[in-house]
Amino acid sequence: MLEIFYHPIYTSGISKSSNFPRDRYQLIFESISKSNRNKDIKFKIPKKINVKHLYNVHQKDYVDQFLKGKLSEVQQRKIGLRPWTSKIIERTLFIMGGSVSAVISSIENGASANLAGGTHHAYHDYGSGYCVFNDLVISAYYCKEKFKRYQNILILDLDVHQGDGTASMVKTDKSIFTFSMHCESNFPLKKQVSDLDVPLKKGMKDKTYLKILGSSLEKLEDNDTDIIFFQAGVDGLVHDTLGHLSLSHQGMMKRNEMVLSFCKKKRCPVVIFMGGGYSKPISHTVKAFSELFFQFSNL
């Protein structure tokens, strides 16, 4: 059974006039809900995260300014999701709550997902690229604190953008291994150093992409891993307006299949964090994410 954490505020917490494709969360929820392939999927409503978990990994001043609605214009612009509304605060707390709940559920059920999150561009003391706080890092420390048996975490980031915030936040922590396979010409311009970075050429298609993914996953096979966090952004699709890769839906599904069998081989629970998806029309993003969740519901 794949439990997926979802709250309507994932969509409604962003202004209607924002450029961000906020409808994707609701549309994915609807698409899965009405499908006849959802028998192994159960939606759960997350609780807001306890702010102490934010303080554990982010600068206190930054967390407090955000919670008080007092981020500066410059800080807001760096994050995006504008025009800013006060609902962003609640939305962020629910999304972070969904991610840590998914950690618990994955340990109980083998896999779990948050229908949002994967906010890998957030740094210790500032947000960036649609990311306020870094739920991957928050969830990693939450997991290490709560579960003694799950100390070694592998962050598998296949979003088209580099997991720069994540890499920077855990660079001195040997128990959290960061892997990022991303398009070299995409945001962020200035890349950080992950434990393993695999930069890809602009315009890369399925065949080359999947070959490189296969050999990269092989390198991770001998790592000491207790739990896997999969940042499953689908912005590598050819239909994506931000991503510079050219993957087909079939290629994206093959990618998921490879990650799935990697997790099985490692006998590790897996937590899925959604990540990016900016296709036009939005139906491509909805389709790709729905397929991802169906694939992992057969674990």
Stretch that binds Zn ion, among 10-18, 61-69, 169-177, 227-235 (CB under 5 A): 227-235
Residue 2, H or E segment: strand 2-5
From CA 242, how far away is CA 71, in angstroms rounded?
A: 26
**What is the side-by-side strand order in the sheet with 2-5?**
41-44, 2-5, 111-114, 270-273, 227-231, 153-157, 176-183, 196-200
171, burial (CB in 10 Å: exposed 0-12, middle 13-18, buried 19+):
middle
Q: Would you count residue 157 as binding Zn ion (CB under 5 A)?
A: no
Least spacing, CB of residue 149 vs Zn ion, in Å: 31
Least spacing, CB of residue 27 vs Zn ion, in Å: 18
Stretch that binds Zn ion, among 30-38, 79-87, 153-161, 200-208 (CB under 5 A): 153-161
Q: Which is nearer to Zn ion, 97 or 276 (CB)?
A: 276
Q: In the set 21, 98, 127, 276, which binds Zn ion (CB under 5 A)?
A: 276
Q: Which is nearer to Zn ion, 175 or 241 (CB)?
A: 241
Give the CB-nearest residue to Zn ion: 276
Q: Would you count residue 129 as binding Zn ion (CB under 5 A)?
A: no
From CA 230, how far away is CA 250, in angstroms rounded?
A: 19
Q: Would you count residue 117 as binding Zn ion (CB under 5 A)?
A: no
From CA 239, how far away is CA 294, in angstroms rounded?
A: 21
Q: Which is nearer to Zn ion, 161 or 244 (CB)?
A: 161
Q: Which is nearer to Zn ion, 166 or 297 (CB)?
A: 166
DSSP string covering 194-240: -SEEEEE-TT--HHHHHHHHHHHHHHHTTS--SEEEEE---TTBTTB
Q: x/- contact string, 6-45, with Zn ion (CB under 5 A)?
A: ----------------------------------------
Stretch that binds Zn ion, among 91-99, 141-149, 201-209, 230-238 (CB under 5 A): 230-238
Q: Would you count residue 235 as binding Zn ion (CB under 5 A)?
A: yes
Least spacing, CB of residue 18 vs Zn ion, in Å: 16
Least spacing, CB of residue 190 vs Zn ion, in Å: 16
Q: Would you report the helix, strand and coil content of the chain in percent, each value rounded to 5?
A: 40, 15, 45
97-116 burial by CB neighbour count: b if 16+ within 10 A, else e? Answer: bbbbbbbbbbbeebbbbbbb
Least spacing, CB of residue 233 vs Zn ion, in Å: 4
C-alpha to C-alpha distances, 128 to 75, 125, 139, 164, 184, nearest whole angstrom: 8, 10, 18, 10, 18
Phi, psi of 186 (to 5 degrees): -85, 165
Q: Which is nearer to Zn ion, 251 or 269 (CB)?
A: 251
Of 159-218, binders to Zn ion (CB under 5 A) are 159, 161
> Which residues would be at the binding site for Zn ion (CB under 5 A)?
159, 161, 233, 235, 276
